[in-house]
Amino acid sequence: MTDGYHIIVCGSLVPDPLQTLEPVPGSTPPALKNEAMLPAVLDPWAAHSLFEAARLARETPGSKVWLVSLGPKSRLQQLMMQVAQKVPFELVALDGPASGFADAAEVAAALAGAIAAIPGLDRSRLLLFGGCASASRDAGATLQMVAEELGIHDQFLAVDELKPAADGSLRVLERIEGGRYLASVCDGPPLCVGWSTGSLPEPPNSPQIGMQNMRAIMPALQRAKPAPVGSQDLAWLDARVPDQRRDTRIVKDASTDAIAAEIVAWIRS
């Protein structure tokens, strides 16, 4: 049996996926055109991990959920007006850039420092959640770096299911090639879980949960410490929107090998 989990979810705002993203030419470090005006959402993979964290906390008495976010303070406030109505959590905010051009190691160090400073955090009960990827920082490495900074070496990525057992162990299902799962059993926390899509729908808005969360979110935003992550030590040669190419032919009864060979030849050209 467990006394409950301390669940940390790492996730921040990203531009709405329906928006066209265009880098600003000649900017060092690069930035997105009209970035401050782009509609923002909670990173989709991070949102899945937040919903899964809330479910686990609801099913395990004594658990608590924190959402650790790095982004511009004013834009985080706008985002929290939406996210706060979904599930109960406590916000830990860092005031810094949220563009995809920030170095993953710098972001991970800032997040790990904020997590380590959370009052009353019990690392023996710690579950570190986040997305297996990100719509902005899609290096696929940030969450793993945060875990290493915190000394968490049991790491599972592309997870769709996490189930605690009566003896305190945790059963994890990870996606692997071929549409199959790798089933693992971990003795217990601390644990790092990079969530894929999971199995939960987006929770409906609850004004009661929103009001409860916002009482703590606004002071947390006011206390947000600056996190100057900006890749100042990196030299950017170019940043541009990829060229769009579409060559379509309709061919019947082509073999798999012929199709694969044609695709390889097209890529090489």
The domains of the chain, with CATH numbers, are 6-226 (3.40.50.620)
> Which residues, in sequence order, are bridge partners of residue 15?
40
The residue assigned the tokens 């990203």 is 14
Question: Measured on CA atoms in the order 81, 83, 84, 86, is the torsion positive or negative?
Answer: positive
Q: Which two tokens stand for residue 165?
A: 């057992």
Q: Is the pTM of this model over 0.85?
A: no
- Asked whether the predicted pLDDT for residue 47 surpasses 60, the reply is yes
H-helix or E-strand containing 50?
A: helix 44-59
Mean pLDDT of the region 26-34:
69
Output the pLDDT for position 178.
80
Count of alpha carbons within 13 angstroms of residue 75, beta-carbon side: 23
- Asked whether the predicted pLDDT for residue 5 surpasses 90, the reply is yes
The residue assigned the tokens 């999971």 is 198
| Greatest alpha-carbon span in the chain | 65
- Asked whether the predicted pLDDT for residue 184 surpasses 90, the reply is yes
Q: 109-131: per-residue pLDDT in tens?
A: 999 999 999 999 999 999 999 98
In the 3-class helix/strand/coil scheme, how is 179-232 assigned residue by residue?
HEEEEEEECCCCEEEEECCCCCCCCCCCHHHHHHHHHHHHHHHHCCEECCCCCC
CA distances from 246 to 21, 49, 125, 206 (A): 20, 35, 51, 44
DSSP string, the chain: --S--EEEEE--EEE-TTSPP-BPTT-SS--BTTGGGS-EEE-HHHHHHHHHHHHHHHHSTT-EEEEEEEE-HHHHHHHHHHHTTTS--EEEEEES--STTS-HHHHHHHHHHHHHTSTT--GGGEEEEEESS-SS-TTS-HHHHHHHHTT---EEEEEEEEEE-TTS-EEEEEEEGGGEEEEEEE-SSSEEEEE-S-SPPPPPP-HHHHHHHHHHHHHHHHTPEE-----TT-------PPPP-------SS--HHHHHHHHHHHHH-
Count of alpha carbons within 13 angstroms of residue 113, beta-carbon side: 13
- Asked whether the predicted pLDDT for residue 266 surpasses 60, the reply is yes
Average pLDDT over the chain reads: 86
Cβ-count burial 150-189 (b if 16+ within 10 Å, e if not): bebebebbbbbebebeeeeebebbbbeeeeeeeeeebebb
Q: 98-108: per-residue pLDDT in tens?
A: 777 777 888 89
Mean pLDDT of the region 185-214:
90
Q: 85-94: per-residue pLDDT in tens?
A: 999 999 999 9
